[in-house]
Structure 1
Amino acid sequence: MLKDINLNAMNHFEAVARLGGISKAAEELGVSPSAVSQQIRQFEQQMGVRLFKREKRRLSLTLDGERLFQTTTQAFRMMRDVRSAIQRQRETRHFILRVSPSFAVRWLSPRLKSFLELAPNWDMRIDAAPDFSDFETEVVDLDLRYGEGGWTGLNEEPVVHDLVLPMCSPGYLEELRELSGDPIGQLRQARLIDSVKTHYRWDFWLARHGIMGERMIYPMRFDRSSMAIQLATDGAGVVLESTTLALNELERGALVPLSTAFEAIRFPAYWLVSPARHTSRRIVRIFSDWMREEGAAHDARAAALITSFGCRIREQRGRQLPGEEYLTE
């Protein structure tokens, strides 16, 4: 039975057979060569067979020794692998973040490398999902939420502002200018692309600007900003969208503001949200500090870009039209 086997002696046997000598085994095990030799003798006595042939001060495995070695070395290798895995798991620290899908792909992912350099030993998991975390039933450290704030019972901090304005491709803008020289007239002729889960939608924006009429329809509706932005980039219409998510397209000229006559609405859009008890966690503090710096740099970059187009920026804090339900982006 297994309890009758001297596991210490087996360990010495495996080391000698694997390394090819008593001295090397003794060095690995941290014992004297004589101690290794004694363990080998005891193990051979216990097994009732010779495990090594001793010829001219050299050791080689007998047939029985070879059979035993194949089994023991595999077992010890598996045990070492499991031990290493357990140690790595113990040393690895976990951070779980939930974030809205479009923001995760377009804004967060390109910046993650710099965060990982700050926390190289952390195992990071990101759930790109539109639903907010239920911190009482789910294992999540932090939410990076899109919205207007006001989540009861949770600690919240705005870290990225958004700038929203009508945008389209340069080619589509030229088509609209051929139809009308008036920005409002251009909108009346345009195909409007609607992002149905954004904070500012076309119906709210058009009403705020007094632009109404039978032609003001938006047949293209998407529940992901990335899809709406891509369609506008392809020249299919005008999108009322986030410069945070469309910053790359604006910087390389694939998208342009529809008109400098329309202000960009600026508001706190992306928030760090968690129970107050989570804010004391080291990784949450590290990520929060990093997000503040990245968010501030982004806000300055986006504002400079929009003003370079000649557009004005108007600060706004508030909901959509009364009665409209807020949806996550």
Structure 2
Amino acid sequence: MAPPRIPPIHCLQAFEALARLRSVTLAADELAVTPSAVSHRMRQLETQLGLRLFARHDFQLSAEGAGYLARVREALALLADAAGPDAASSGRVRLRVAVPPTFSRQILLPRLALFRQAWPDIDLVLQVSIPLLHVFGEEADVEVRFGAGGPYADRESVRLLGDRVCPVCSPGYLAEAGPFDGFMRDAEVARAQLIRSPLEPWRTWFVAHGLSLREPADGAQVNDAGLVLDAAVAGFGVALMRLRLGAAWLDDGRLVRLSEHSVESPHHHDLAWKPGALARWEVAAFVDWLRQAV
């Protein structure tokens, strides 16, 4: 017979702190995590144990919770007194997340250290998805989808991140083909080479400024947001950039804005998952964390 799974220690610590302080906020402050992290850890612990540890919303312990708390405190005290290294973690879970490549590099990865600190028992498996088409290599537990938004026929979803767009180009291209006075008149836009992408069509900019131009039919076309900006850096022409997603290209001077104005994009990023998946504590933890992180 396989030995019983031992609940993760951070869940036990959250339970002990919550039972003692009777406040999610105070327990979160003591443990140096967010209140939502405390709530998710309690959900994880109760799910693994199959017990309801608190009887009321004021965090009064149930009979099972009171009995379990005594054993938890004994175990935590023994661990605190132990001279050896921390016990090996148990109860690890794997969470598969499908993410568009530029969103992953620019938005998700710079924040993942904070997720690992808050949820050390979740092993993330990141895989690349294709924006608009929602295609990825294997089944994912959570997806970051890019496009016009839901509802999706086979997924529950929530809006994650919107953005505004603005024309940009490299300093070299601006010196060669410019100047462009705001990039809001037919004549100046028509003499620029526009980088095309189905992810961010130029009609968004044209319609917002009353331009009579049609969507460009020739010139470079790129189907990844990051590669669109890299093409602009390489001097291919002017790109329509999502300002939050492309902030790094502006910050280091690789690209410059051609207008002080920006336009809300009709596209945005959603978080999506199969119906019922949010009942899994690790899915709920990631969704809640990412929504707060961005």
DSSP 3-state at the match of 1:157:
strand
- Superposition TM-score, scaled by structure 1 size: 0.54
Deviations 1:87-135 (A, max 9, x none): x99733110111112212232122222211122122211111215379x
Counterparts of 1:190 and 1:94, CA distance in 2:
48
Whether the 8 Å contact between 2:166 and 2:259 is mirrored in structure 1 is: no
Give the structure with higher Rg (CA): 1
Counterparts of 2:233 and 2:212, CA distance in 1:
25
Whether the 8 Å contact between 2:220 and 2:236 is mirrored in structure 1 is: no
Aligned to 1:173: 174
1:84-103 matches, within 5 Å, as 91-103=91-103
- Superposition TM-score, scaled by structure 2 size: 0.60
Task: Please identify runs of 4+ aligned residues in structure 1 that moved more than 6 A.
Answer: none
Counterparts of 2:192 and 2:286, CA distance in 1:
42
Aligned to 1:290: 289
| 1:272 counterpart letter in structure 2 | L
* Cα displacement (A) at 1:282: 1.0
Distance 1:275 1:169, change over 3 A: same
Aligned to 1:56: none
Aligned to 1:13: none
Counterparts of 1:268 and 1:239, CA distance in 2:
16
Deviations 1:60-92 (A, max 9, x none): xxxxxxxxxxxxxxxxxxxxxxxxxxxx99733
Aligned to 1:240: 240
Deviates more, 1:265-274 or 1:275-284: 265-274
DSSP 3-state at the match of 1:227:
helix
Counterparts of 1:123 and 1:113, CA distance in 2:
12
Aligned to 1:252: 252
Deviations 1:243-299 (A, max 9, x none): 232111122232222112x4321556111111231111111111112111211xxxx
DSSP 3-state at the match of 1:192:
coil
Gaps of 5+ in 1: 1-87, 296-329
Whether the 8 Å contact between 1:188 and 1:215 is mirrored in structure 2 is: no
Whether the 8 Å contact between 1:192 and 1:217 is mirrored in structure 2 is: no
Counterparts of 1:215 and 1:109, CA distance in 2:
33
DSSP 3-state at the match of 2:123:
strand
Counterparts of 2:178 and 2:243, CA distance in 1:
23
1:266-285 matches, within 5 Å, as 266=265, 269-285=268-284
DSSP 3-state at the match of 2:195:
strand
Whether the 8 Å contact between 2:98 and 2:126 is mirrored in structure 1 is: yes
DSSP 3-state at the match of 1:222:
coil
Whether the 8 Å contact between 1:189 and 1:215 is mirrored in structure 2 is: no
Counterparts of 1:216 and 1:278, CA distance in 2:
42
Aligned to 1:193: 195
Aligned to 1:132: 134
Counterparts of 1:164 and 1:211, CA distance in 2:
16
* Cα displacement (A) at 1:229: 0.5
Aligned to 1:226: 226
Aligned to 2:43: none
Whether the 8 Å contact between 1:176 and 1:186 is mirrored in structure 2 is: no
DSSP 3-state at the match of 2:211:
coil
1:4-43 matches, within 5 Å, as none
DSSP 3-state at the match of 2:112:
helix
Counterparts of 1:171 and 1:230, CA distance in 2:
13
Gaps of 5+ in 2: 1-87
| 2:197 counterpart letter in structure 1 | S
| 1:164 counterpart letter in structure 2 | V
Whether the 8 Å contact between 1:195 and 1:241 is mirrored in structure 2 is: no
Q: How many residues align?
A: 201
Deviations 1:177-201 (A, max 9, x none): 34x65732332111111122x1x30
Counterparts of 1:231 and 1:139, CA distance in 2:
31
DSSP 3-state at the match of 1:290:
helix
Counterparts of 2:216 and 2:155, CA distance in 1:
40
Deviations 1:118-174 (A, max 9, x none): 22122211111215379xxx6421111112222124211112121212111233233
Aligned to 1:111: 111
DSSP 3-state at the match of 2:196:
strand
Give the number of the structure whose residues are more often helix, by fraction.
Answer: 1
Deviations 1:214-242 (A, max 9, x none): 99554010111111101112333110122
Deviations 1:13-49 (A, max 9, x none): xxxxxxxxxxxxxxxxxxxxxxxxxxxxxxxxxxxxx
